[in-house]
């Protein structure tokens, strides 16, 4: 019933847009009003944010390397997978690009840049593909290996990634982070949805939600990042179904890793085929080039990618987020109680499974409706008025499939 209702909501939304939204309203961009101008307050907030980012990064490294080897007694796993990954995803999409303020890699890059002085950096020609590889590597680590939550695994991953990022900065300069560092690119992508942003002159402005998506850089790597995000959360749902659990039940650890890797690749491939197929059909029907169409409409998948993340990680944030409060008092598992929260137990009655199901369903529906809205607005700018509505039929079908498939995976888990 959830799936049927979601599909109906999407189709009704599309019909309503066709009738009442006849001219583009987003394409010109919305500057919004200034809420914080450059000055002492802004500089103070930036310094505080950078200091906080470095302190949390140092805490993560120390906990992962020197803390208790048991996952439940070490703050590193819950910090990486819940506080950082889920928390930053939600914040950047709903509020603004907080990662840009607290990013410890940018702080370290500034130090590297100061040490290297005026030496010229090498020309960079790889685009955002290193960021795609980094994001794919992280979601693989999060979803596939059986030892993904062990502090020792995270210690190796964090230190290795830091070395790679700083090597990139040393070769291509600090600006390379905006192209090649996976989290900088991904969180920046989500922040196009958010109301708060910094303009070219450093002023913080507020604008309506979603309006920043029209300024998204429409290249192939950006499409790949969105597909990695969508495909990984789809596989997360698939891996929790009875079918998948039964399939992997009697396999060895190595066999399960190979199976999960194949499943992750398959999930990303399905998302790719759905989007590419919709764009190719649209291109043939309206005599437009596929690459131009896919670049023009990839921004409509960003709200869907966020909706999938919200739906899949909501319960993780609610329950495992509570353990982060307890572990904050004893981050290394040494029996400390720094803030008096070490004895806090996870309250599993905080939200019911029914509430979780409604949040998941409503999140996915809202994300797909938002995708339909921005796609319809872009169609009005790309196609003649008479063709704009018809041009969206293939993408609407793909979005309905995403909605029904996403809900089936989530609610069948």
| Distance (Å, whole) CA 313 – CA 336 | 29
Query: Residue 22 has what pLDDT?
Result: 86
Query: Residue 382 has what pLDDT?
Result: 86
Report DSSP state, residue 36: E
Direct distance between the N- and C-terminal alpha carbons of the chain, in angstroms, rounded to an integer: 16
Query: Residue 53 has what pLDDT?
Result: 97
235 and 144 Cβ atoms separated by less than 8 Å: no
Mean pLDDT per 10-residue interval, the chain, length 413 residues: 83 88 84 90 94 97 95 95 95 96 95 80 88 96 93 96 94 92 96 93 92 86 92 89 88 92 94 90 85 86 92 90 93 93 88 87 89 90 82 86 81 66
Report DSSP state, residue 37: -
* Chain centroid offset of residue 237 CA: 16
394 and 383 Cβ atoms separated by less than 8 Å: no
151 and 64 Cβ atoms separated by less than 8 Å: yes
Query: Residue 412 has what pLDDT?
Result: 67
Number of neighbours of residue 167 by Cβ within 10 angstroms:
11
Number of neighbours of residue 40 by Cβ within 10 angstroms:
7
| Distance (Å, whole) CA 64 – CA 405 | 37
61 and 55 Cβ atoms separated by less than 8 Å: no
155 and 64 Cβ atoms separated by less than 8 Å: yes
Q: Where are the alpha helices (DSSP H) in 146-252?
A: 151-172, 177-180, 182-191, 220-238, 242-247
Domain ranges of the chain: 1-30+236-413, 32-209
239 and 142 Cβ atoms separated by less than 8 Å: no
Cα–Cα–Cα angle for 379, 212, 134, rounded to 5 degrees: 100
Query: Residue 217 has what pLDDT?
Result: 77
| Distance (Å, whole) CA 22 – CA 9 | 20
101 and 49 Cβ atoms separated by less than 8 Å: yes
Question: Residue 359 contacts by C-beta under 8 Å, 6 or more apart in sequence?
Answer: 310, 311, 314
């Amino acid at each position: 019933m959830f799936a049927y209702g979601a599909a109906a909501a999407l189709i009704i939304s599309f019909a309503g847009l066709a009738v009442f939204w006849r001219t583009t309203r987003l394409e010109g961009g919305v500057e919004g009003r200034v809420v914080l101008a450059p000055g002492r307050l802004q500089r103070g907030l930036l310094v505080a944010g950078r200091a906080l980012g470095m302190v949390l990064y140092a805490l993560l490294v120390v906990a992962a390397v020197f803390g208790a080897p048991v996952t439940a007694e070490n703050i590193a796993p819950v910090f990486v997978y819940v506080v950082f990954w889920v928390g930053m995803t939600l914040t950047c999409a709903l509020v603004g690009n907080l990662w840009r303020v607290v990013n410890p890699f940018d702080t370290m890059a500034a130090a590297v840049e100061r040490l290297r002085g005026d030496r010229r950096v090498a020309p960079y020609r790889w685009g955002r593909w290193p960021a795609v590889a980094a994001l794919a590597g992280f979601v693989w680590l999060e979803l596939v290996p059986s030892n993904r939550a062990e502090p020792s695994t995270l210690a190796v991953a964090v230190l290795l990634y830091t070395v790679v990022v700083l090597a990139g900065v040393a070769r291509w300069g600090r600006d390379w982070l905006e192209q090649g560092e996976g989290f900088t690119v991904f969180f920046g992508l989500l922040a196009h949805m958010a109301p708060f942003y910094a303009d070219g002159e450093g002023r913080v402005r507020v604008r309506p939600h979603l309006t920043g998506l029209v300024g998204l850089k429409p290249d192939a790597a950006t499409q790949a990042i969105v597909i990695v995000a969508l495909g990984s959360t789809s596989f997360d749902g698939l891996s929790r179904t009875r079918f998948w659990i039964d399939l992997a039940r009697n396999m060895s650890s190595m066999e399960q890793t190979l199976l999960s890797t194949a499943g992750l690749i398959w999930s990303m491939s399905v998302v790719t085929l759905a989007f590419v197929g919709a764009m190719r059909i649209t291109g043939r029907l309206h005599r437009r080039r596929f690459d131009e169409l896919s670049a023009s409409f990839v921004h409509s998948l960003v709200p869907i990618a966020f909706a999938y993340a919200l739906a899949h990680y909501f319960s993780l944030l609610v329950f495992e987020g509570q353990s982060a409060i307890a572990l904050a008092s004893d981050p290394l598992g040494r029996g400390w109680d720094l803030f008096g929260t070490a004895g806090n137990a996870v309250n599993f009655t905080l939200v019911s499974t029914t509430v979780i199901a409604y949040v998941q369903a409503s999140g996915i529906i809202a994300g797909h409706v938002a995708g339909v809205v921005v796609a319809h607005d872009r169609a009005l700018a790309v196609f003649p008025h008479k063709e704009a509505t018809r041009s969206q039929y293939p993408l609407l079908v793909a979005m309905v499939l995403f909605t029904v498939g996403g809900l089936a995976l989530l609610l069948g888990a």
